[in-house]
Amino acid sequence: MDKVSIARNPRARHDYHLLETWEAGLVLTGTEVKSLRARKASLGEAYAHVRRGEVWLEGMTISHYAAGSYNNPPPARSRKLLLHKKEIRRLIGGTTQQGLTLIPLEVYFKDGLAKVAIALARAKRQHDKREDLKRRDAEREMARAVRKRG
C-alpha cells in the first residue's frame, strides 16, 4: 500500500466544501507515466465532468517527456478516469444538483498505478473562506498558548 504523491490541488480545500471523495484510475500513455514519475504534473486548473456515461479529467497538465519524441501527447489533453459504474451513477446524480462539481484533489501512484483523488464539491462563498481563515488562526493561537504553558 505504497502511496507516492505527484501533484496536489492546493486551492481545492480553500475554494470548495468537499462532500464526498473517490479514488479513480487514469488512462495514460507511456510517456505521460514517465513524466508523472518525474513529478512533472499540475492540477491547478483541472476539473472533472461526466460525458456520455464516462468521467473525464480536463485541464490537468503533464509536461512533455524529454526523451519521448513524437510519442508525446498534448500536455493538457482530456484524460479518462476509471471508476465503477455504480460510482459513476452516483457522480451523475451529484453533478446534476445545482452548484456541485467534480474537483481533482491529488494525483499519486498507489502500488505502481497512477491514481487521482476526486471530490464532489460545492463552491465556498467569500464569507465561508473568511470564517475558515479565522477558525484556523484561532486554532493556531490556542496551540501556541498550550505550547507556552507546557
CATH number at residue 102: 2.40.280.10
The pLDDT tens digits for 89-128 are 888 877 777 778 888 998 999 988 889 999 888 887 777 7
pLDDT value at residue 16 = 83
**Which residues of the chain register pLDDT less than 70?**
1, 68, 71, 74
Q: Which domain holds residue 117?
A: 3-124
Rounded to two decimals, what is the model's pTM? 0.74
pLDDT value at residue 1 = 61
Domain assignment present for residue 45? The answer is yes
CA 97 – CA 45 distance, rounded (Å)? 22
Domain assignment present for residue 139? The answer is no
Question: Which bin fits 99, alpha (ψ -120 to 50), beta or left (φ > 0)?
Answer: left
The one-letter amino acid at 63: S
Domain assignment present for residue 61? The answer is yes
Domain assignment present for residue 145? The answer is no
Domain assignment present for residue 20? The answer is yes
Q: Which residues of 85-119 are buried (b: 16+ CB within 10 A; e: fewer)?
A: eebbeebeebbeeeebebbbbbbbbeeeebbbbbb
CA 56 – CA 81 distance, rounded (Å)? 6
Domain assignment present for residue 103? The answer is yes
Other Cβ atoms within 10 Å of 76 Cβ, number: 14
pLDDT value at residue 8 = 87
pLDDT value at residue 71 = 67
Number of domains the chain contains:
1
pLDDT value at residue 13 = 79
Question: Which bin fits 136, alpha (ψ -120 to 50), beta or left (φ > 0)?
Answer: alpha
Beta strands 16-26 and 79-82: pairing type?
Answer: antiparallel
Domain assignment present for residue 120? The answer is yes
Domain assignment present for residue 85? The answer is yes
pLDDT value at residue 108 = 92
pLDDT value at residue 48 = 86
